[in-house]
Structure 1
């Protein structure tokens, strides 16, 4: 499994990120280092990004461990 080319339609637009907020706390979201999730430090949740689309539903979110929150709040 080599690295396959990424479909440009499946890349999150960073300008769109500036407009998105956490659906629970209405605070700013941070893009994870691997660009696969949007992190809400305030809610301690990570929302997945699939095919360039952020899934900002609480059902899709995963809880973040305290150590991971510290990395994203810097």
Structure 2
């Protein structure tokens, strides 16, 4: 994923900053504890597609 894109994308729920998790190919919102998938290099920033992070993952 292009780092320039990462600088401008935001969480669709809280509008907060997203962090890239390269290992799992996800964008993480720590405020909402949600992980948005990246499919074929394209972030899927839809709340129904996000998975909830466990307490350990949300740290």
Bin of the TM-score, shorter chain as denominator length: over 0.9
Which residue does 2:56 correspond to in 1?
67
Which residue does 1:52 correspond to in 2?
41
Q: What TM-score, normalized to structure 2?
A: 0.94
Which residue does 2:10 correspond to in 1?
21
Structure 2 residue ranges without an equivalent (≥5) = none
Structure 1 residue ranges without an equivalent (≥5) = 1-11
User: Which is higher, the Rg of structure 1 or of structure 2?
Assistant: 1
Question: What does 1:29-44 correspond to in 2, within 5 Å?
Answer: 29-34=18-23, 36-44=25-33
RMSD: 1.0
Size of the alignment, in residue pairs?
Answer: 59
Structure with the bigger percentage of strand: 2
Shift of 1:33: 4.0
Shift of 1:35: 5.3
SS in 2 for 1:18: helix
Shift of 1:14: 1.0
